Structure 1
Amino acid sequence: MQNSRYDSLDNALIAELRKDGRAAVSTLADTLKVSRGTIQNRLDRLIASGAIVGFTVRVHQHLDTGAVRAIMMIEVVGKSTAQVINKLRGIAELTRLHTTNGAWDLVAEIQAADLPTFDAVLRQVREIDGILNSETSILLSTI
């Protein structure tokens, strides 16, 4: 699914599923203030289009030693921060997103299953309209 086909409800739905991939359709509908049928139709469409490729368990970092974790600093063009945030929320591997001060506008925490997935996430982020620059550091160990 191309990013241009996402709307705010798609992004919100994906963001909620990132918090709890096991959330019931009725819970998602209540949270997003739409009908259960709307949520089910959106889920079906997102799955069929390939935007959602599966539902997964997030494991505590001490148990998930094969994951690639990183921090990405992001510079946003002009006043496009809200638009960029909405697009970033649709990327499952971005586990947290923070606003910040200084040279960078946003900080994203990334967790990818492997290096090819990590590489794909970097490309996907860099293709978002409104992102001027980014810098990513892979987290090697937690001390």
Structure 2
Amino acid sequence: MDTANLDAIDRTLLTALQRDGRATVGELAEAVSLSTSPCWRRIRHLEETGVIAGYHAHLDRDRVGLGVLGFVQLTLQDHTADTTSALEREIMALPQVLSCHNLSGRYDYQLEVVAPDLPSFSEYVRTRIRALPGVREISTNFSLKEVKRTVALPL
């Protein structure tokens, strides 16, 4: 399903679900002025077509003991398919890495990494990140203050 197939009701439903993933079908139906059955069918269709990829609890990282957020930029030794596939496969298995982006520009990848404190973060980068396949150079920046974080897409 592409965005051309999303009508105003779908967009309103998706916005409401992004705001509150625990909303009941009745609450969602009321928000889009539908009865519950057609609303439920729309939600199921959005799930089945992959527009809704899942439902998640948003945790406060400080309250779960992950007070350090850092951005780790990687430059690779080479850009062969074997190297990048091995790197990406290993990154996928690292729970401390919240996101990984293949970049254009000076660095090849940027990782968003969490840790309980600076010594833990430092140890993690030195032992786990540096050991990733093909890594030639690492640069790290720390978040001093998170101004905005959202996973809600603008519809």
- State the TM-score bracket (shorter-chain normalisation): 0.5 to 0.7
Which residue matches 2:33? Answer: none
Q: Which runs of 5+ in 2 are unaligned?
A: 1-56, 148-155
Instruction: Write the distance in 2 (CA, Å) between the matches of 1:77 and 1:92.
Output: 24
Which residue matches 2:86? Answer: 83
TM-score for the superposition, normalised by structure 2:
0.50
Q: Structure 1 residue 138 and structure 2 residue 142: aligned?
A: yes
Change (3 A) 1:132 1:100: same
Instruction: Write the distance in 2 (CA, Å) between the matches of 1:133 and 1:58.
Output: 32
Instruction: Write the distance in 2 (CA, Å) between the matches of 1:95 and 1:59.
Output: 12
Which residue matches 1:7? Answer: none
Q: Structure 1 residue 128 and structure 2 residue 145: aligned?
A: no
CA drift at 1:89? 1.7
Q: Which has the larger radius of gyration?
A: 2
CA contact (8 A) 2:65 2:116 kept: no
- Provide Cα deviations, 1:55-111, integer angstroms capped at 9, x if missing partner: xx9723575686100111111121111111111222211111111101111110011
CA contact (8 A) 2:66 2:115 kept: no
Instruction: Write the distance in 1 (CA, Å) between the matches of 2:143 and 2:116.
Output: 14
Instruction: Give the match's secondary structure for 1:74.
Output: strand
Which residue matches 1:67? Answer: 67
Instruction: Write the distance in 1 (CA, Å) between the matches of 2:110 and 2:66.
Output: 23
Letter in 1 for 2:132: I
**Runs of 4 or more off by more than 6 Å in structure 1?**
none
Instruction: Give the match's secondary structure for 1:129.
Output: coil
Q: Structure 1 residue 118 and structure 2 residue 121: aligned?
A: yes
Instruction: Give the match's secondary structure for 2:94.
Output: coil
Aligned residues: 87
Instruction: Write the distance in 2 (CA, Å) between the matches of 1:73 and 1:90.
Output: 18
TM-score for the superposition, normalised by structure 1:
0.53
Letter in 2 for 1:132: R
Letter in 2 for 1:136: T
Instruction: Give the match's secondary structure for 1:81.
Output: helix
Instruction: Give the match's secondary structure for 2:99.
Output: strand
Which residue matches 1:103? Answer: 106
Q: Which runs of 5+ in 1 are unaligned?
A: 1-56
